[in-house]
Structure 1
Amino acid sequence: MKKTLALMLTALMAASVWGSEDTRMYLAAMKGDVAVMQKLIEAGADLNTPDQFGGPPLLNAAGTGEMEAVKFLLMAGADVNAKDKTGFTALHKATMGEAELDAVRLLLASHAQVDVLAHGVSPLMIAAQQGHLELLRTLLAAGANINLSNEYGATALMKAAEYGRLEGVKLLVDQGADMGRKDHRGQTALDIAQSVIVQKDGYPKVIAYLKEKQGRSTQGSIK
């Protein structure tokens, strides 16, 4: 329902303001209308040119989970690493989107760059915020840098801790995330989890887990 309403709103905006080829491609990609996209390409539409909304068609298809459109655009030569005006790639959009895992796997198989930062997040950081374990595993298996930090010094582990994602925190720690890494404020993942004002859901367990793991790490280093 949410997706349908978003598509309807976008269509109304486009119909009232824009009537260009780029807008038709944008809407076709969002709706997964491969037939329309094929006709537009045959008419000379550029697959990698940002439209009025700031993104190439592949990003729109990936973000709305239209797998057939994603497959079609990749086969037609769309740049898997193209960015929108804010710096997001199709892999970012897919990680946030509705198809998620299927779209992410397809983009990775098409050599999507996995460690691109935009708006302070990489695809791995987005998956960490969501606590999406299969996405985390898939991105790590594809070579995502588990300790990559953004312009504020935050890592995927810090994101998982910030959002109270216990299982995500466990997975990242087990895979080698640096629990002692500090952001630009001097805070570790544990500090960040403890600083959350409303301690609900998974936060107490995240805090207890990180304290336990850090305690073991400290004991091991003393020995």
Structure 2
Amino acid sequence: MKIQIQLFASVAEHAGVSNVTVEIAKTSEQITIADVKTALQNQFPRLHELLDRCWFAIGDDYAHLDKSVKSGDVIAVIPPVSGGLAKQSTDSAVRIVRETLSPAEMYQYVARSAAGAIVVFAGTVREFTKGRQTNYLEYEAYDQMALRQMQKIVDDSEARYQGAKMAIWHRVGTLQLEEISVLIGVSTPHRKDAFRAAEEAITILKRTVPIWKKEFYADGEVEWVGPEGVWDPTQQS
């Protein structure tokens, strides 16, 4: 069976392509994500170690290695996340954009008369990371899946905190120092819930949403940045 696979960020860069087809000599009832991973490693030996740190997705959902693959499924390889775009409304609670993000606009979006507290978190491009000087960053997203995962964060938070309203907007493309990469806005009746919801949202976003960060350092080196250690985007706590 032939399987279509989408590659992103560091995986696409190492493979030299963003879309690939692999053929697996099994019936569709027998094929799993593990078979897809093995086929990719055989076709692209240089990806062997990198794929061991990646997760796979079928459609917009993360898939474990024992997940069955059906004919027509489109598989995405999701490297560790750092943190034409998908169609989205300009008044949507979740957005992926290329233009400058506005904290004032976010404040107005989540503001309402029932709120006793409003928190707007802005993640910005810093100059130094672990002692290394950064010139600028590039962000890349798997838009369709990223928007769905961001919406899940919003829905879960609004269900957890009574009376909460949340929005998450993320920028992609090239960002210079001090520019805003992500905004999270939340309004709640009480301030503790607003602070907690915003902190939880950015923590989950950085672990689960397929958005990747590429650092361009002052010394000329370039690096895709992801979490250290074992990465499991399905683990929420």
Q: Say whether the fold is shared (TM-score over 0.5).
A: no
Higher relative contact order (CA 8 A, sep 6+): 2
Say which structure is richer in helix: 1
TM bucket, shorter chain: under 0.3
TM-score computed with the length of structure 1 as normaliser: 0.24
TM-score computed with the length of structure 2 as normaliser: 0.23
Higher Rg of the two aligned structures: 1
Say which structure is richer in strand: 2
